[in-house]
Amino acid sequence: MSRRRVVITGLGTVNPLANDVGGFWKGLLAGKSGIGPITQFNTSAFKVHFGGEVKDFHPEAQLDSKTVRRLDRFAQFAMLASIEAMRDSGLTDAKWSDPFRCGVMLGSGIGGLNEYEDQHSIYRDRGPSKISPFVIPKMIANAAAGNVSIHFGMAGPNTAVSTACASASNAIADAYRAIQHDYADVMLCGGAEAAITPMGLGGFCAARALSQRNDDPAGASRPFDRERDGFVLSEGAGMVVLEDLEHARKRGAPVHAELLGVGCTADAYHVTAPHPDGVGAQKAMELALRDARLNPSDVQYVNAHGTSTELGDVGETKAIKQAFGERARKLAVSSTKSMIGHLLGASGGVGPGGVRPIAAASRPAPDHQPATS
């Protein structure tokens, strides 16, 4: 049986540069940095005082106040990015014949950390009887996927993926397979994260994973730079609408690009450190090329995971050279984390950023339409 072709028909994002795709793209082209001092809480007791916060975020402008109150910040990001992606795809009026053929796969590395910390403070100060009945529905990792599906009435495959930095990328890969193997016609997928909290910042500081360039926040995230000293903690969401090509054609949908293949691996090496030789990432890219039926010479650009960490950037560089051979020297390679920092589980939906465990290959959209990634 021939594989169904999968295309991207909608894009949506909320991130440190902008709260929409147009503003994000404009900021990227201008080389603008979205990194600055953290404003959500007092950071004076921390070693790091900056991050990639989402700015001017007003979810009540698109969601009713009751819905906003019942969503953690990460789910609010997911909801607004999803609304933009669905609007971009032209599916906001539910232009599908069967809601069970339309699903949501949404990744998050941590989930509702804001809600957990807020409610723990209430428990500590006022006792267990004052804990909100919404604490569990707001903090669980699938809160975003579930609420997005409810909002749009998408009753098809619905999963929450939690694979750290690769969460959004794995969610997109799973959604791609769901369409390719005829489990769905439309999949809204990507990731969301909101871990700029006292525990989130403190935890990554304790792990010595973050850049400490407090005197230069805008220049702190520097993937592949000799003087890199760690990643910048950021927040946001990135969502895409994947669709069966024939389904998209029948409704005259805009097509941004075609997704050709994915490759997923694990280093099976260490809980936080990547394999020093990048063997897992190398294999993921090789599997993606094979799945896409492409040769290394067909690829022109790699959007790297590029976290700005000493071990990660070296391992990824080795992986690209090993996977592409001589072609690696002709590849254009960059990381959007230089401008937006590390969105953790949302990275693959915005960057994309999940090169370490997953690599994706795409080609210009069918019918010679412009391709966007």
| Buried-exposed string 241-255: b where 16+ CB fall within 10 A, e elsewhere | bbbbbebbeeeebbb
DSSP H or E segment with residue 169: helix 167-180
Q: Which of 247, 256, 275, 305 is catalytic?
A: 305
Backbone φ and ψ for 267, nearest 5 degrees, come out as -65, -30
Q: Is 165 a catalytic residue?
A: yes
Say how far apart CA 283 and CA 277 lie, in whole Å: 11
CB 187 within 8 A of CB 178: yes
Radius of gyration of the chain (CA): 20
Angle at 180 between CA 287 and CA 291, to 5 degrees: 15
- CA gap 191, 238 in Å, rounded: 6
Catalytic residue, chosen from 102, 165, 189, 264, is: 165
Q: How many angstroms from the chain centroid is the CA of residue 221?
A: 17
113: amino acid identity, one letter: L
Contacts of 61 (CB under 8 A, 6+ apart): none
Instruction: Choose among 365, 373, 5, 361: nearest CA to 179.
Output: 5
Beta bridge partners of 11: 240
Long-range contacts of 129-134, Cβ-Cβ distance < 8 Å, separation of 24 or more = 134/70
Sign of the alpha-carbon dihedral angle for 98, 78, 28, 356: negative
Q: Pick the catalytic residue: 181, 205, 342, 368?
A: 342
Cβ partners under 8 Å of residue 291, min gap 6? 260, 261, 262, 263, 361
State the burial class of residue 129 (Cβ atoms within 10 Å of its Cβ: 0-12, 13-18, 19+): exposed
- Residues recognised as catalytic: 165, 305, 342
